[in-house]
Structure 1
Amino acid sequence: MTRPDPEAGELIGAVARGDRAAFERLYRLSAPKLFAIALRILRDRGRAEEVLQEAFIRIWRSAASFDGALGGAGAWMTSIVRNAAIDALRRQPPPSISAYEDEDILASISDGSFERLDPAMAQTLHDCLGRLEETPRRLIVLAYCGGYSREELADAEGRPIGTIKTWLHRGLAALKTCLDGDE
């Protein structure tokens, strides 16, 4: 809810007095935009729906604390949804690196991007990845093909982020050297 909506502020006031019809109207008015915010943060429709429900429970319970003089109703509700979505992300377990199978590095990549490579280049990449030490190789594949952040990798490995950055940097440098044929 990016623009001021006086109706939403009035509805929150009615919700604070326990008006269920006002709560239903507030939900219909704001849920689509708030759901989009949760979905953008969580990238999972089911989890975004759960967060939206949790956020509206918070809105119902804390409507009396809303002060329109401090900001708009949309910004207040957006803040509740955003915080609920971030809390949901924090509760998420770290990625399972132990589930990584080292039998075929490129086969573990699910997006199919290597299927579009020239077969000779795919084989060269496969060979160069195979020459890397196991940990940097796994981290490179998880980070650049699996989409895991350095923070997620650090949590999963139980290592500082600086260590993960170093392993990725050195691994990528070795990979580049191999791909350039300088090895």
Structure 2
Amino acid sequence: MLRRRRRARRGAAERGARRRRGAWAAARGRARRRPRWRSAADPGRRPQASPLPSFKTIVETNLVGTYNVLRLAAARMAHNDEEPDGDRGAFVLTSSVAAFDGQAGQTAYTASKAAVHGITLVAARDLARWSIRVNTIAPGLFATPMLGKLPPDVFDTLSAAVPHPRRLGQPPEFGRLAVELLENPYLNGETIRLDGAVRVPNR
């Protein structure tokens, strides 16, 4: 009887883990949108390099696009008069928890978001001479229009994966943090996770 109960609990845990992995995959659209490494260990597959164009597209959008806005806006901000707190301007960039917990198959997305996190401190130091601050938010799973298209059971599984509060983040919560980063004159060069303590699984 005891063995039977243990097997039942183990089976339930494995089924829950499989549902969570499937939900993460559905939310990220990994199979359709992310270039993957092709492994010689995959049965029935010949070794093959991942396509470079799709990697470049994601990096150019998430990283090069971010840097382009940063450099152009900073050039204008540098001519502003200083505020009473000493600021001429402040940036809030957007990274992702994938910068720290990238899933298998997310090489391009993780590389681009990790790079946004990477330039945060350097940009803050470079722009300090003009009294411009730079901070970054790394959001987890948020209730965006894209995730709103997922089936209800997948949505519920994603919500259950967040330790506390056990739900997806809401856009106003992102906005509140962005405002604090803009208004607090002593916050500079930081990347802050906004994710309800979630840690993304391998798959």
Determine which structure has the larger strand proportion and give its number.
2
Global fold match (TM > 0.5): no
Mark the structure with the bigger radius of gyration. Answer: 1
Identify which of structures 1 and 2 has the higher relative contact order when contacts are C-alpha pairs closer than 8 Å and 6+ apart.
2
